[in-house]
């Protein structure tokens, strides 16, 4: 197996934690993993993305090549659209439906969501509502992990184990909240 | 992972590591073990030396074989396993996580390694040189522009040499993700005549410190380890190797080497020049440099550092042309000659400057073989390398893509909501009124540099660390009224102090606004060297105490802060306004610690 995933979001949304959990799940399964991150200035409310690759064969590049990602998983809808050139024409777009408008000139939200909906395989999820239901708005990233999980080719058990592992130094309630958020995201309206 | 695999990974390494970790040296000190595979470092783990990442994995598997580490973290792990006793650094993207990892390590907790953030990169490297003088294995870490600050000790330490192994880890930032330029640290090798290791991936980043420290101790010379952003900030699965104890304390056998008086320096420099042939021999024999045969010699590839990974990603397993992978400098002359003599055309893939390409072309560009790369236009001259650029240069077809969306607009970074710098920018802008188009606010490197962007438009310059105060002074002397410097607490400690002393001596008509958010915020909230002593530092340098003012940048204090700024701007002579309020991010983290912390920015 060989997966190329682009994770997209805005600084402060928990994108690195999302990448960390998926990467940990793949590592624990004995897969080769490469995961490029953005640190530094862009984390201040700017564009952040992560190139995440895992495979049962050795990987050599930290970056996903354009046109080869099976999934763009986005914490923000305009950011989902930014990385379409990385997506394989048969890949999936999974995005949080709620825009984060911290710049002027943000395109009409209807247009942004409409463009995602026109993509052959897509899934739009209200991450904030489900995260609140799980117990913490900050767990929206784990809701999106659940929403993207059908396209990750990693078992639910492996992903939940990775959540527990990633948040191992936090209170047990934090793990429960994040696992619950993951489950709610996975059970949200199915992809179309 | 099955048990057999675990056992294999434990039972094999000792014989392998004996071969590779301590390569046999011939009379010239050159390893004769050219073909030793680098991966042979892979092997058993000592659980007591496990990194912090392992706790949950230990529970899960009973044993840990692989780690998912950033290139920076892999380098730090490798340095700790290789017996480094001292790690000094000034934080800077993309290098920061090297020292963060060391600081969080069990080795630091147990006092086995001294790890410190220092005032700047120069003091970091000098402290590492001192530790090496005392016989310990030592390292200093910095970003590429930090090496400019440390260039004096860097270049001269190559002449003085090392006692304990000394490595200088420098992370370059091509494409300027978080930097003001994309200079290539390899160019410094030509000034310092120092060897360099450039890892191709996370595993090599782990392997590099042990190799470079051995190289350093064999030849008594510091060694540069060069990383670039995409390795520093990319995670990869690595296997750790055996650990070795730190060096004991021991002073140099020939202490005169460290006295660079001209008469002695000439001898030391002559020795360094003589050593160059040995360094080239080391490169030709290095496991970081490899010649991979190929039958079709119409083209040969030189792939440096992570470019080798992009090449393999693009061409897959079957590639008909010879490849020279370069991961150690000086350029391996025997291997390069082999490739150049065999191939009609050579394509050089390298991250950063066309450093190797220029050496292969010579001046003027040689006729045969033709050398292609960033200089010839076969690859972009600027910006970081990408797999797409490599594919294009090789004439490989790109994968089909869907059309880019026209919807996304730029989303530049911005000051966080509630950031004290926003309040300082607002107060300063109001205090100054309409600024002339030429500008009057000289600023510096830090979060507050984002004050250049709308809606603040509050600063006019950003050149390099510490330039705000001295540029304001120079402009004031040239006739600018008013002249204001805006500098952060840590940047002030890094390289603002000497400039303020210049202002005092010249009674410069400059107002220095020090935005003190009690953290080195942009790089993650490390403690500033000036914390708790900014006002006393300014007064100690000679600024009139009545013109060292402190304000709290907060919307509720706007009118008062504008008044203080106006008074000090009106004052003729050097004055300082310290705008102090804690970084909103570190304040939030502190408030959260002890409470439940949910998924979020880590």
Q: Output the domain CATH number for residue B116.
A: 3.40.50.970
Its domain, for residue A135, covers: 2-186
Are B233 and B329 contained in the same domain? no
Q: Residue B245: which residues within 8 A CB-CB, separation 6 or more?
A: B83
On whether residue B490 sits in a domain, the answer given is yes
On whether residue B157 sits in a domain, the answer given is yes
Q: How confident is the model at residue A44 (pLDDT cuts 50, 70, 90)?
A: confident
On whether residue B356 sits in a domain, the answer given is yes
Q: What is the pLDDT of residues B255-294, one digit of tens each?
A: 899 999 999 999 999 999 999 999 999 999 999 999 999 9
Q: What is the pLDDT of residues A149-189, one digit of tens each?
A: 999 999 999 999 999 999 999 999 999 999 999 999 999 98
Q: Kindly determine whether residue B600 and residue A87, on different chains, have CB atoms separated by under 8 Å.
A: no
Q: How confident is the model at residue B365 (pLDDT cuts 50, 70, 90)?
A: low
- Please give the tally of structural domains in chain B: 3
Scan for tokens 């150690």, then name that residue.
B328
On whether residue A191 sits in a domain, the answer given is no
On whether residue A33 sits in a domain, the answer given is yes
Q: Which helix (H) or strand (E) holds B329?
A: strand B328-329
Q: Which helix (H) or strand (E) holds A161?
A: helix A156-166
The number of C-beta contacts closer than 8 angstroms across A and B is: 208
Are B571 and B443 contained in the same domain? yes
pLDDT score at B55:
36
Q: How confident is the model at residue B317 (pLDDT cuts 50, 70, 90)?
A: confident
The complex's ipTM works out to 0.95
Are B332 and B430 contained in the same domain? no
Are B460 and B549 contained in the same domain? yes
A27 vs B237, B386, B596: nearest CB = B237
On whether residue B400 sits in a domain, the answer given is no
Query: Among B200, B229, B231, which residue's Cα sits nearest to residue B92?
Result: B229
On whether residue B352 sits in a domain, the answer given is yes
Q: Lowest mean pLDDT of A9-13, B125-129, B461-465, B500-504, name the range.
A: A9-13
Res B573 pLDDT > 90 = yes
Mean pLDDT of B568-575: 97
pLDDT score at B318:
84
B177 vs A27, A40, A168: nearest CB = A40
Scan for tokens 């640190």, then name that residue.
A39
On whether residue A91 sits in a domain, the answer given is yes
Are B213 and B81 contained in the same domain? yes
Q: Lowest mean pLDDT of B3-12, B221-230, B425-434, name the range.
A: B3-12
pLDDT score at B17:
37
- Using alpha carbons, list the distances in angstroms from residue B174 to A182, B185, B385: 36, 11, 8
Its domain, for residue B374, covers: 290-393
Q: What CATH number did the domain enclosing B371 receive?
A: 3.40.50.920
Query: Among B124, B121, B103, B125, which residue's Cα sits nearest to residue B113?
Result: B103
Res B163 pLDDT > 90 = yes
pLDDT score at B586:
92
- Please give the tally of structural domains in chain A: 1
Percent of chain B with pLDDT over 90: 81
Are B374 and B511 contained in the same domain? no
Contacts of B386 in chain A (CB under 8 A): 63
Contacts of A22 in chain B (CB under 8 A): none
- Residues composing chain A: 192
On whether residue B14 sits in a domain, the answer given is no
Res B48 pLDDT > 80 = no
On whether residue B527 sits in a domain, the answer given is yes
Scan for tokens 């003001």, then name that residue.
B180
Q: Kindly determine whether residue A61 and residue B97, on different chains, have CB atoms separated by under 8 Å.
A: no
Distance CA B400, CA B403 (A): 10
Are B209 and B352 contained in the same domain? no
Distance CA B348, CA A54 (A): 28
On whether residue B583 sits in a domain, the answer given is yes
Q: Last residue of some domain: B335, B358, B393? A: B393
A175 reaches B (C-beta below 8 A)? no
B321 φ, ψ (degrees, to nearest 5): -100, 150
Res B7 pLDDT > 90 = no
Contacts of A46 in chain B (CB under 8 A): 411-414
CA angle B506, B507, B510 (to 5 degrees): 110
Q: Kindly determine whether residue A85 and residue B412, on different chains, have CB atoms separated by under 8 Å.
A: no
Tell me which of A13, A65, A140, A144 to substitute to probe the interface with B (most B C-beta atoms closer than 10 Å). A65
Q: Residue B246: which residues within 8 A CB-CB, separation 6 or more?
A: B83, B84, B85, B112, B113, B136, B137
Mean pLDDT of A91-100: 97
Are B497 and B551 contained in the same domain? yes
User: Which DSSP letter does residue A168 get?
Assistant: T
pLDDT score at B412:
87
On whether residue A192 sits in a domain, the answer given is no
Q: What is the DSSP string of B38-96?
A: GGGG-----GGG--GGGHHHHHHHSS--EEEEEHHHHHHHHHHHTT--EEEE---TTTH
Distance from the Cα of B524 to chain A's closest Cα (Å) equals 8
Are B357 and B496 contained in the same domain? no
A112 vs B309, B391, B407: nearest CB = B407
Q: What CATH number did the domain enclosing A157 receive?
A: 3.40.920.10
CA atoms within 13 A on the CB side of B483: 20
pLDDT score at A45:
80
Query: Among A23, A29, A28, which residue's Cα sits nearest to residue A62?
Result: A23
Q: What is the pLDDT of residues B545-565, one digit of tens each?
A: 999 999 999 999 999 999 999
pLDDT score at B42:
32
β-pairing, A47-55 vs B511-516, is unpaired
Are B314 and B179 contained in the same domain? no
């Amino acid at each position: 197996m060989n997966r190329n995933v682009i994770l997209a979001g805005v600084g402060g949304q928990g994108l690195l934690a999302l990448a960390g959990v998926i990467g940990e799940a793949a590592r624990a399964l004995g897969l080769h993993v490469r995961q490029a991150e953005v640190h530094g200035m862009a984390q201040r409310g700017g564009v952040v993305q992560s190139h995440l690759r895992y495979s049962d064969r050795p990987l050599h590049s930290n970056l996903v090549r354009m046109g080869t990602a099976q999934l763009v998983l986005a914490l923000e809808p305009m950011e989902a659209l930014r990385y379409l050139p990385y997506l394989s024409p048969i890949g999936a777009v999974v995005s949080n439906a709620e825009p984060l408008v911290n710049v002027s000139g943000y395109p009409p939200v209807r247009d942004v969501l409409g463009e995602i909906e026109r993509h052959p395989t897509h899934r739009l999820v209200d991450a904030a509502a489900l995260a609140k239901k799980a117990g913490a708005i900050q767990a929206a990233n784990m809701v999106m992990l659940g929403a993207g999980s059908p396209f990750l080719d990693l078992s639910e058990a492996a992903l939940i184990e990775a959540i527990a592992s990633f948040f191992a130094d936090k209170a047990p309630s934090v793990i429960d909240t994040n696992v619950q958020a993951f489950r709610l995201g996975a059970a949200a309206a199915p992809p179309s | 992972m099955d048990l057999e695999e675990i056992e294999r990974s434990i039972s094999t390494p000792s014989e392998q590591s004996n071969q590779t970790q301590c390569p046999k040296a011939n009379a010239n000190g050159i390893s004769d073990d050219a073909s030793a595979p680098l991966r042979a470092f892979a092997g058993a783990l000592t659980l007591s030396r496990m990194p912090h990442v392992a706790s949950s994995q230990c529970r899960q598997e009973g044993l840990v074989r692989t780690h998912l580490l950033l290139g920076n973290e892999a380098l730090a792990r490798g340095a700790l396993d290789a017996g480094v006793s001292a790690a000094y650094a000034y934080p800077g993207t993309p290098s920061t996580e090297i020292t963060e990892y060391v600081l969080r390590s069990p080795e630091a907790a147990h006092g086995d390694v001294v790890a410190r953030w220092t005032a700047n990169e120069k003091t970091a490297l000098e402290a590492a040189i001192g530790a090496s003088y005392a016989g310990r294995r030592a390292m200093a870490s910095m970003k590429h522009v930090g090496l400019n600050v440390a260039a004096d000790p860097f270049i001269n330490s190559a002449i003085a040499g090392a006692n304990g192994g000394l490595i200088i880890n420098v992370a370059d930032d091509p494409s300027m993700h978080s930097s003001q330029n994309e200079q290539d640290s390899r160019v410094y090798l030509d000034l310092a005549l120092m060897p360099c290791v450039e890892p191709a991936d996370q595993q090599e980043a782990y392997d590099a410190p042990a190799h470079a420290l051995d190289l350093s101790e064999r030849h008594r010379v510091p060694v540069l380890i060069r990383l670039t952003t995409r390795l520093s900030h990319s995670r990869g699965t690595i296997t750790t190797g055996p650990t070795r104890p730190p060096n004991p304390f021991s002073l140099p056998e020939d202490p005169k080497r460290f006295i660079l008086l001209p008469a002695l320096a000439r001898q030391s420099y002559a020795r360094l020049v003589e050593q160059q042939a040995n360094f080239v021999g080391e490169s030709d024999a290095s496991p970081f440099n490899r010649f991979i045969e190929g039958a079709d010699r119409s083209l040969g590839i030189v792939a440096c550092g992570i470019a080798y990974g992009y090449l393999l990603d693009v061409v897959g397993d079957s590639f008909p042309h010879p490849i020279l992978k370069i991961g150690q400098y000086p350029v391996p002359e025997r291997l390069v000659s082999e490739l150049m003599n065999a191939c009609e055309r050579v394509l050089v893939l390298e991250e950063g400057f066309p450093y190797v390409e220029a050496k292969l072309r010579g001046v003027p560009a040689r006729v045969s073989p033709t050398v292609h790369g960033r200089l010839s236009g076969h690859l972009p001259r600027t910006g970081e390398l990408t797999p797409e650029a490599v594919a294009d240069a090789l004439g490989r077809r790109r994968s089909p893509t869907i059309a880019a969306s026209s919807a996304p607009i730029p989303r530049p970074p911005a000051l966080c909501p509630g950031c004290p710098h926003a309040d300082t920018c607002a107060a300063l802008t109001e205090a100054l009124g309409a600024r002339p188009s030429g500008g009057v606010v000289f600023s510096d490197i830090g979060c507050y540099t984002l004050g250049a962007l709308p809606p603040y438009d509050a600063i006019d310059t950003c050149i390099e660390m510490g330039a705000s105060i001295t540029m304001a002074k120079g402009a004031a002397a040239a006739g600018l009224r008013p002249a204001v410097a805006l500098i952060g607490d840590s940047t002030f400690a890094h390289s603002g102090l000497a400039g303020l002393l210049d202002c005092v001596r010249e009674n410069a008509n400059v107002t220095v606004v020090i935005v003190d958010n009690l953290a080195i915020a942009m790089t993650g909230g490390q403690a500033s060297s000036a914390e708790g002593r900014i006002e006393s530092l300014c007064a100690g340098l000679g600024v009139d105490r009545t013109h060292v003012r402190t304000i709290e940048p907060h919307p509720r204090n706007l009118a008062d802060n504008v008044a203080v700024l106006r008074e000090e701007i009106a004052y003729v002579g050097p004055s300082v306004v310290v705008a102090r309020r804690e970084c909103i991010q570190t304040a939030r983290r502190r408030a959260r610690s002890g409470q439940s912390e949910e998924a979020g920015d880590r």
